[in-house]
């Protein structure tokens, strides 16, 4: 599925609330403001998007455990929306129906490029790792994939670029039309799992928890853990992206959001067993079905929750997309990061600044 499933009503209604909230100003405090006549103004509205995935565990924990609400305070009304793909979240940002979202690197790059570097900024990292190439047990190596079909979540998305880059390094050609030595078939994660089970595809480069589900439910094996391809095993999977206009109008609100983001990240790392249960319960609330505990536990071990956006991996991913013909070679990413607020929050916690 590629359409957002709003939890908060119509986008127009949200926009109206946001315009009301803007009247409160964007001073150093996000508390409820008063008008010149002494009346209490409406709270500032922050519209936050995220996906019902383990790779978005920071957002889910932030909502379910109240980290966001606690840091934002009563002067900010948090409105959340659920998405299943990055392009839909980007569309919501561009249409002024969303202020911030957890999102993968490639959709963030696309949003930055489409707006000539004006519309969005990455303000923090969220998740590293959690992407794997799972194949049939009979596949011993890359050579065995020649002439076979491998799935990726979406043409040009983060895992699709990683798959094509790895295949090229093995001397195997791919084409965006599906041709080449290996046939790459972009398809929905759930569809890819069923295709793998039926034998219609030989494997897939998938994010968690889908990679683990292919192993546990589809009888597959891991041929490539993407962590093995990056320095220190670190590469960006999810980050926090905000509309530049909202960041400029309400830096205090975004600072409080980042405070909640850091608190949620600390929680995921400090209490992993409890956090797995909280996040899975949140996924069940959002989708109507929890993941098997065995899937959550195994997938969790493939993820690293960090506020560092691992900027070098995003830039290399963009270069890989350019090589694969999926991103214009003239694209520059200067200015895509604004970690000023994150570094200020980390400084108050006596932690080192994040470098990009």
Q: What is the DSSP string of 174-232?
A: B-TTS-BSSEEEE--HHHHHHHHHHTSSSEEEEETTHHHHHHHTT--EEEEEGGGGSGG
Whether residue 71 sits in one domain with residue 175? no
| Interval 83-110 mean pLDDT | 93
Residue where a domain terminates, one of 233, 248, 282: 233
Q: Residue 356 falls within a domain, yes or no?
A: no
Residue 154 to residues 303, 307, 324, 333, 344: CA-CA distances in angstroms? 21, 26, 14, 22, 36
246 and 111, same structural domain?
yes
What's the pLDDT score for residue 154?
87
pLDDT at residue 18 is higher than 80: no
Work out the pLDDT band at 86, boundaries 50, 70, 90. Answer: confident
pLDDT, position 41: 59
Q: What is the DSSP letter of 345?
A: H
- Given the DSSP bridges, would you call strands 203-207 and 131-135 parallel, antiparallel or unpaired? antiparallel
Residue 302 belongs to what domain range? 5-129+235-348
140 backbone φψ class: left, alpha, beta (φ>0; ψ -120 to 50): alpha
Residue 10 has a pLDDT of: 35
Q: Are residues 169 and 275 in the same domain?
A: no
For residue 5, pLDDT beyond 70 = no
Higher per-residue confidence, 18 vs 110: 110
Q: Are residues 110 and 135 in the same domain?
A: no
Domain shared by 159 and 302, yes or no: no
pTM as predicted: 0.84
Asked whether residue 13 falls in the same domain as residue 116, the answer is yes
State pLDDT tens for residues 164-188.
999 999 999 999 999 999 999 999 9
Could you tell me if residue 96 is inside a domain? yes
pLDDT of residue 43: 85
- Looking at the structure, do residues 16 and 116 belong to the same domain, yes or no? yes
119/73 same-domain check: yes
pLDDT band at 37 (very low <50, low <70, confident <90, very high): very low
The domain boundary residue, chosen from 207, 233, 259: 233
141 within some domain = yes
Judge if 52 and 104 occupy the same domain: yes
Q: Which residue has the higher pLDDT, 86 or 350?
A: 350
What's the confidence (pLDDT) of residue 338?
97
Q: Is the pLDDT of residue 71 over 50?
A: yes
Q: Indicate whether 28 pLDDT > 60.
A: no
Of 119, 148, 118, the C-alpha closest to 135 is 148
Give percent of the chain above pLDDT 90: 80
Q: What is the mean pLDDT of the chain?
A: 89
Q: What is the mean pLDDT of residues 259-268?
A: 98
Question: What span, in angstroms and rounded, lies between the C-alpha atoms of 142 and 315?
Answer: 26
Please check whether residues 144 and 220 belong to one and the same domain: yes
pLDDT at 114 over 50: yes
How far, in whole angstroms, is CA 134 from its chain's centroid?
Answer: 21
Percentage, residues of the chain above pLDDT 70: 88
The pLDDT of residue 326 is above 80: yes
Inform me whether the pLDDT recorded for 327 exceeds 60.
yes
Distances (CA, A) of 151 to 96, 183, 255: 33, 8, 39
Least confident of 5-14, 127-136, 345-354: 5-14
Least confident of 16-30, 61-75, 312-326: 16-30
- Of the listed ranges 53-67, 80-94, 164-178, 284-298, the least confidently predicted one is 80-94
Identify whether 354 is part of a domain. no
Domains held by the chain: number? 2
- Which of 233, 266, 289 terminates a domain? The answer is 233
Q: Mean pLDDT across the stretch 262-289?
A: 97
């Amino acid at each position: 599925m590629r359409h957002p499933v709003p939890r908060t009503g119509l986008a127009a209604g949200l926009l109206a609330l946001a315009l009301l909230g803007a009247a409160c100003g964007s001073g150093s405090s996000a508390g409820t403001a008063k008008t010149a006549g002494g009346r209490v103004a409406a709270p500032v509205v922050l519209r936050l998007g995220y996906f019902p995935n383990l790779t978005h565990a920071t957002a889910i924990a932030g909502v379910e455990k109240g980290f966001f609400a606690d840091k934002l305070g009563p002067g900010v009304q948090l409105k959340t929306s659920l998405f299943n793909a990055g392009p839909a979240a980007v569309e919501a940002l561009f249409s002024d129906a969303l202020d911030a979202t957890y999102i993968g690197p490639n959709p963030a790059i696309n949003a930055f490029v489409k707006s000539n570097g004006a519309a969005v900024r990455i303000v923090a990292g969220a998740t590293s790792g959690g992407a794997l190439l799972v194949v049939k047990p009979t596949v011993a190596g890359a050579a065995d994939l020649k002439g076979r079909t491998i799935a990726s979540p979406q043409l040009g998305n983060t895992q699709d670029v990683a798959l094509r880059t790895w295949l090229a390094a093995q001397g195997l050609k791919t084409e965006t039309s599906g041709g080449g030595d290996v046939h790459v078939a972009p398809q929905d994660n759930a569809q890819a799992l069923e295709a793998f089970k039926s034998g219609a595809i030989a494997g897939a480069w998938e994010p968690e928890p889908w990679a683990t589900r292919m192993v546990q439910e589809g009888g597959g094996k891991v041929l490539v853990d993407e962590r093995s391809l990056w320095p220190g095993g670190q590469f960006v999977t999810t980050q926090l992206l905000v509309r530049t206009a909202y960041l400029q109008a309400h830096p205090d609100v975004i600072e409080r959001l980042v405070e909640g983001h850091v608190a949620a990240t600390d929680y995921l790392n400090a209490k992993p067993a409890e956090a797995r249960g909280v996040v899975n319960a949140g996924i069940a609330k959002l989708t109507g079905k929890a993941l098997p505990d065995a899937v959550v536990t195994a997938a969790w071990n493939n993820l690293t929750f960090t506020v560092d956006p691992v900027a070098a991996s995003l830039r290399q991913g963009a270069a890989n997309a350019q090589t694969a013909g999926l991103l214009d070679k003239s694209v520059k990413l200067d200015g895509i990061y604004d970690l000023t607020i994150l570094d200020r929050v980390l400084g108050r916690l006596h932690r080192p600044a994040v470098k990009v």
